[in-house]
A and B are shown apart, each in its own frame.
Chain A
Amino acid sequence: MLTKKIKSRLFFILSVVFITLLFLIFVYFNLKQNILYFKTPSEIFKVDEIKINSKIRVGGMVKKDSIKQNNREIKFILTDYQKELIVVYNGAVPNLFSEERGAVVEGKLNDKRYLIADRILAKHDENYMPPEMKKILENAK
């Protein structure tokens, strides 16, 4: 059924697939750390030595009732429900930034519990619904 020509072409394809897979594995193990867009507060806590002056991104939930704002800066606690991180930032926050919502902060660590941010991004989840629906859900809780 398969002629010699077709066999040789299939062989070509399989060899390209093989090389691609090798390449992919190589890239994956080299980029393993960089592929993650952000770390969680617990991961920060686990690291033995923190690099004080390098930029990192940390993601988590903004803890309820933790946002304290004065005219110079905003201070809040970022949590992954296991470890907490205090974040200080001055500048405008995105519209969707608020308590009990996801956020990603980018900045430099002062120590394991304290981060000075120079950028804040809001993260939202995959649920979309009209406001009335949300109210019904909240009342049902």
Chain B
Amino acid sequence: MDFFSFGKIIVYIDKFIKFINSIFFLVLIIGLSFALIISPIDYLQGDTVRIMYVHVPSAWIGLSIFSMMAIGTLLNFVFKIKNLYLFVKSLAPIGLLFTCLSIVTGSLWGKPTWGTWWAWDARLTSMLILMLFYVFFIIAFKIFKESENLPKILSAISILGIVNIPIIKYSVEWWSTLHQPASIKILGSSSIHSSMLVPLFLMLLVLLLYCALIFLMKYKTEIIKIKKQNIKRL
């Protein structure tokens, strides 16, 4: 268990933050110039297709962070691993941010293409529910901070929330929605031309680096909080 001691972790966190800081702006500039300048326009949508380069990665990140949080919470609840609790707590704000961003950018994409900012179709509504679950999660962290029941409450929110994840993913296939079906499938080919896939994955990389940076800073803050409580015992 020595590897997971706070001392070891904080050394790696410092190294990682330094590394991300050193390359972040370079990757950001490459990503943005591909997304806004180099990539071609779409045959149908023209320049609005560029919104995809922030909308789609945000949605992916929102979904995957919630899944990670839910699994982390359940494992923490069953096996009581302190690190997992900090892990979940540090991830929550990033997930909420990107879920909100995917809804807002989606709205900005929907207006010029569909002709409406919002529609109560299955995909958009289930994404809104995901946002609500993030909010529940964060409120539970704040309200039940001292309570013994916190892991129990968080686990219940996780289970309720995680059933929503496959609903979001497959809503566009199961039901008739205004939202178009997925372009990129886990198995099988994608229906996005390769000249548009490059900026998409570059922007995904930029946002993932950003997420890692925020996560590490939050995690470090949590470690310092714990150490501060125990300072007398050092």
Contact = CB atoms under 8 A, between A and B. Distances in A.
Contacts of B44: 96, 124
B180 A13 contact: no
Interface residues of A, number: 39
Where chain B touches its partner, the secondary structure class is: loop
A133 interface: yes
B159 A20 contact: yes
A120 B115 contact: yes
B74 A13 contact: yes
Interface in A101-130: 104, 119-130
20 contacts: A12-B155, A16-B156, A16-B160, A36-B175, A37-B119, A37-B175, A95-B112, A121-B114, A121-B178, A123-B178, A124-B44, A125-B191, A126-B191, A128-B42, A128-B183, A128-B191, A129-B43, A130-B43, A131-B43, A133-B43
A9 interface: yes
Given A20-B160, A130-B195, A121 B42 contact: no
Where chain A touches its partner, the secondary structure class is: mixed
Given A6-B79, A121-B114, A123-B114, A104 B155 contact: no
B182 interface: yes
B52 interface: yes
Contacts of B196: 128-130
B121 interface: yes
Contacts of B192: 127-129
B176 A59 contact: yes
